[in-house]
Amino acid sequence: DIVMTQSPDSLAVFLGERATINCESSHSLFYSSNNKNYLAWYQKKSGQPPKLLIYWASAREPGVPERFSGSGSGTNFTLTISSLQAEDVAVYYCHQYYSTLRTFGQGTKVEI
């Protein structure tokens, strides 16, 4: 199975400041045949289902605020929240869909 490792496990950021979450995969998630990285980011709030933020490592889902951005390729990826808002308090997960056996990172808790 592809292992996804996120860092840090949790972080506290001031309102309006930048939050950066890293995700490392044990296998490259890049398919050269279509030039895409099979990596998504989800936001999870208590009592709610996950919400897709980013797919193909950097494509923002329609309706997701522009302060959320994804970057990276191969085995190293980053989710950045450029200016943290109160409603962004949540746990964030990276997720690989390169392998038929999908896996999630362990999650990063973002607090104010």
Partner 1 sequence: EVQLVESGGGLVKPGGSLRLSCVGSGFTFNNAWMTWVRQPLGRGLEWVGRIKDKTDGGTTEYGAPVRGRFTISRDDSKNTVYLQMHSLRPEDTAVYYCHAEPRSWGQGTLVTVSS
Do 43 and 92 form a contact (C-beta atoms < 8 A)?
A: yes
Of the CA atoms within 13 Å of residue 15, those in its CB half-sphere come to 3
Instruction: Identify which range of 12-20, 22-30, 49-57, 69-77 contacts partner 1 by CB under 8 A.
Output: 49-57
What mask, x for binding partner 1 by CB under 8 A, covers residues 15 to 44? -------------------------x-x-x
CA–CA distance, 94 with 5 (Å, rounded to integer): 9
CA–CA distance, 30 with 46 (Å, rounded to integer): 32
Of 17 and 111, CB closest to partner 1: 111
Residues near partner 1 (CB under 8 A):
1, 40, 42, 44, 49-52, 55, 61, 91, 93, 95, 97, 100-107
